[in-house]
Chain A
Amino acid sequence: MLNRRTILLGGLAAPLAAPLVLRHGLAAEPVRIGMTQPLTGVVAASGNYVANGAKAAVAVLNRAGGVLGRPIELVLEDNKSNPREAVAAAEKLMLRDRVPVMIGAWSSTFTLAILPKLLEYKVPMIVETSSAARITTSGNPWVFRIAPTSEMEALAFAELLPKFSPPIRKIDFLSVNNDFGRGATEKYGAVLGAKGIPTGRAETMTPEATDLSAQLTALKQSDSDTLFVTTGVEQLTLALRQAIEQRVNKRLISTGGSFPDQLLHNPLPAGQSSDHILFYAPWFPELARHPEVARAYTDEWNRNGWEFAGLTEGFRGYDAVLTAAAAIAGAGKPEAEAIRQALWKVDVKGVNGDIRFFKEGPAGQESGQNHPNAYVVRLADGKATLI
């Protein structure tokens, strides 16, 4: 209950506080950026890393004055590693939170589920991770992808083929049974097939699977020399460890930017190594296209005390927020259609490299696609080296 003393103090404080409220409260209403990631469920590690990257970018940008003279607010929703939940999270962001731009949704399956809602509510989304080609070829003008497609990734990897010794002669695949995994199997198979490297066996696993012994025993029978593994961080770690258990004596390469960070602390047995196609190699920030951006990102990440290995995926969220902020600044107002138009004109210096969009998909309904950089990092005895 209010007593006389409280009212008196309140009365004295109000005239003093009013200018502050006007300057920082009303005048500085935040600009909202919506984001949906798998913060729980089978690919939660990756989702949390990407979300942390986005938070880091928001902190860095806000310290520099925000956007349009207003602070940025990240509205984050968990899609629970589930496409149905991804749609619900996106609808909540667009309808209730009324965000003028979104970032999401990690897995291609979750992103593809959200696409019709972008058309329905006319809100642009920056796709930070998903690699399925259909995302930017299905005729959705509200989609802008900064991540590479599986084909882009495979083409970038193909350029590095001469660096592998002994050379890669025949390949197998172990992929998660969703758009992400199937897309990687198809595109890597096609691109490397065109280079004269045939595919032996292609096995799949459900996203929830933890025991992969049957798949790996079957793959062991193949005469291929290299096994490509495509899945999220948790399952990737299991696949690599179980491949050693099942004596799958092949070169192990992970695709899609997933990095088995647990193997830094609990490495594979001595003499065993694994290669990882990544889009940011935090061990070598000086080799990034824009080292100063990579350093700012890494510093902010470390300031929060987040796990080092998460930097390999966290940059996606960081670059996505930089892109969204650049588009909002370009639009001059936090409105969906204006931001969509501005996204075509952004030229952002990101952690991965320059972010610019070219058109993909049917004429008049094109989506935006960026052309990111890729690295291959070798992990042996808990140490990373760049190939």
Chain B
Amino acid sequence: MMDQALQHLVNGTVLGGTYALLGIGLTLIFGVMRVVNFTHGELYAFGAYMVYALVSLLGLNFYLSLVLATLLGVALGALVELVLLRPLRHADIDSVMLVMIGAALVLQNTEMWVWGGVAKMVPTPFVGTPLVVGPVSVLPLRLFVFAVAVALLVGFWLLLDRTRIGTAMRATFQDPQTASLMGVRVGLVHTMTFALGSGLAAAAGALLGPVFVVSPTMGDLVGLKAFAIVILGGLGNLPGAAIGGFALGYVEEFGAGYLSTEYRDAFGFLLIILVLAIRPQGLVAARERIG
């Protein structure tokens, strides 16, 4: 019994790391820009397809491909912000949401058109034999993914906390008008925020694509889960998104392991209902009114 619990704990931690990565990008964009980014799942799929293309089609080094896929995600995010969101800076939240839903559909259908509907697998330099420590086993690839996810989370926190652009982002997060009066170029902050958030989604896709399979619809469930994570942690709350990511990973893993595998995906959403009922502002966020 303890063996099983330990294995679930390891599985939940590894899964939670990537969920946290997904949640951080989404919540950052909402926090700074007040944009509900429905393209987040598609940017995740974009990252996965880019790593597939770079490794399988161009024959590039796997690690280099992960970096390039993330950078391409950053570039796509910047493009979406400049072309779609910048003209809507002063539009109401409903119009922006509709545009983002449209953009998500366009991205998904473009992926389907370019890559076809059949799932792809990404070859990796990692062996398929699991590392075994006592009763627990885990693939080296999953450990690598977890380590990179944690490194990205720490790096992102450092970026926000210790750099000028991070300070500008936090200032815009707190009060865009005052930030603007203090000389912060809010337009540039928005572009960088959306690009960075998109880059994190693409990084998550690039990391998880080789673990699972790459398909045009892979972003659907992931996008939904990213929203679940952000709601769990509190909208616009960065530490909350990280905690929400790990919470969702554990709830899914232990719920499926001990209650029912049939409702694995439902457990996360049941948790959201519970959190919203008891603590509507999320697990971490302070009470605030949005919009």
Chain A interface (Cβ < 8 Å from any Cβ of B): 38-42, 44-45, 47-48, 78, 177, 203-206, 208-211, 213-215, 217-218, 220-221, 234, 237-238, 241, 244-247, 262, 265-266, 268-269
Contact = CB atoms under 8 A, between A and B. Distances in A.
Contact of A208 (B123, B221, B256): B221
Contacts of B95: none
Nearest to A247: B137
B215 A234 contact: yes
B40 to A, nearest CB: 17
B139 to A, nearest CB: 5
Interface centre among A205, A206, A217 (most CB of B within 10 A): A217
B116 interface: yes
B257 A238 contact: no
Contact of A234 (B4, B213, B252): B213
B262 A177 contact: yes
Given A208-B220, A217-B11, A245-B138, A48 B117 contact: yes
B217 A41 contact: yes
B139 A245 contact: yes
B128 A241 contact: yes
Contacts, number: 102
Contacts of B217: 40-42, 208
B277 interface: no
Given A209-B264, A215-B256, A247-B132, 17 more contacts: A42-B215, A42-B217, A44-B116, A44-B215, A48-B118, A213-B11, A214-B11, A214-B253, A214-B254, A217-B257, A234-B213, A234-B215, A245-B137, A245-B139, A262-B121, A268-B128, A269-B129
Contacts of A241: 128
B128 A211 contact: no
A40 B114 CA distance: 12
B250 to A, nearest CB: 11
Contacts of B220: 208
Nearest to A210: B212
A40 to B, nearest CB: 3
Contacts of A44: 116-119, 215
B132 to A, nearest CB: 7
B117 A210 contact: no
Nearest to A45: B118
A203 B256 CA distance: 10
B121 A266 contact: yes
Given A208-B221, A217-B257, A41 B139 contact: no
Interface string B207-228: 0000011011110110000000
A80 to B, nearest CB: 8
B117 A244 contact: no
A214 B112 contact: no
Contact of A238 (B4, B138, B213): B213
A214 B117 contact: no
Contacts of B123: 266
B142 interface: yes
A84 B238 CA distance: 38
A208 B186 CA distance: 39
A266 B213 CA distance: 13
B55 to A, nearest CB: 12
A78 to B, nearest CB: 8
Contacts of B118: 44-45, 48
